[in-house]
Amino acid sequence: MISVNERSEEIVRRMIADAEALGLAVTRLPNGATIVDAGMNVPGSLEAGRLFAEVCLGGLGEIHFCALDFDGLGLPGVTVAVSHPSVACMAAQYAGWAVKKGKFFAMGSGPARALYGGEPLFERLKYRDRADVAVLALEGRCLPPEEVAEKVAEKCGVAPDRLYLLIAPTASLVGSVQVAARVVETGLHKMLEVEFDIDTVLAGFGTCPLAPIAEDDLRAIGRTNDAVLYGGRAWYTVQTDDARIEEVIGHLPSSASRDYGTPFYELFLRYNGDFYQIDPLLFSPAEIVINNLTTGRTFHAGQVNGEMLRRALLA
């Protein structure tokens, strides 16, 4: 069986070995847990963001940088190629673990989730990892203290000295890269929302612009989401019935949402800071393409929106 934690550990070890060049800071807590600061007290780097994103994917995806053009607006971007998408994206990369302890809070993503398995999502997934090492990526602005590491290690069933916690704020180089690299994952999560069987998805590929780093994390959350919602493209290779694809394809791009067309930060203010008031159907790439291996047919919905990208990313 593939172990996403063991695969990610290999990447983390490379990051640690090259920490200075990557703009990272590595510390070891008294209980032996390893903390990798990827953007709080250090600058991080684009390459650190690329590796951070590959860690989140459980070592089952490859991230590369590219140049993208949107109606004359040139932006740096990422390409994301994913194998075993349901495992890489939903059992690992999806940010579904709210890590809380005392005053500490951060959203957790990455392969440690597949050891813990405490989210309702795992009732719908057919994968759980078995490993003696756990790797969790945190999106936040406070380094996790020892008691947080103890809690995560306990939930994952590993010794604290076999736990790696990576952390980066959204408003950072690493934050911008790792969110853009979720472009395939967001489309897969939308498939779950519309009851499409993601186990029929054999491969995923996506492109997404890198959001310019904002002045604070809330605005950065807005920009990074907008990069996916209005500039993200995702291609999926599936093996299923054409009729099933036809039922859902129109619901998959972000434009299917009632909240489409307003920058994410403005939506957040409109709903008085209540993230959960935003239409969940908004969270997906701008453009979706599905190729069905069963019949050879290809289905398409949505399109990127250069005007919205200018409005949201260049403000």
4-313: CATH architecture: 2-Layer Sandwich (3.30)
pLDDT of 260: 98
Question: Locate tokens 């453009």: which residue?
Answer: 287
252 has a pLDDT exceeding 80 = yes
Domain residue limits, the chain:
4-313
Torsion of CA 174, 313, 233, 85, to 10 degrees: 30
**Mean pLDDT value across residues 248-256:** 98
pLDDT per residue as tens digits for the range 211-225: 999 999 999 999 999
pLDDT per residue as tens digits for the range 101-139: 999 999 999 999 999 999 999 999 999 999 999 999 999
Phi, psi of 153 (to 5 degrees): -60, -40
3-7, 271-275, 279-283: least confidently modelled range:
271-275
Nearest CA among 108, 100, 103 for reference residue 55:
108
Across the beta sheet with 61-70, the strand order is 61-70, 73-83, 201-209, 233-238, 287-292, 298-302
Residue 273 — pLDDT band, cuts 50, 70, 90?
confident
pLDDT of 275: 79
| 0.75 surpassed by pTM | yes
pLDDT of 264: 96
pLDDT per residue as tens digits for the range 160-217: 999 999 999 999 999 999 999 999 999 999 999 999 999 999 999 999 999 999 999 9
Return the exposure string of 224-256: e unless at least 16 CB atoms fall within 10 Å of the residue's CB, then b. Answer: bbbbbbbbbbbbbbbebeeeebeebbebbbbbb
What letter does residue 173 receive in the DSSP assignment? H
pLDDT of 315: 76
For residue 163, count CB atoms less than 10 angstroms from its CB and return exposed for 0-12, middle for 13-18, buried for 19 or more: buried
pLDDT per residue as tens digits for the range 39-92: 999 999 999 999 999 999 999 999 999 999 999 999 999 999 999 999 999 999
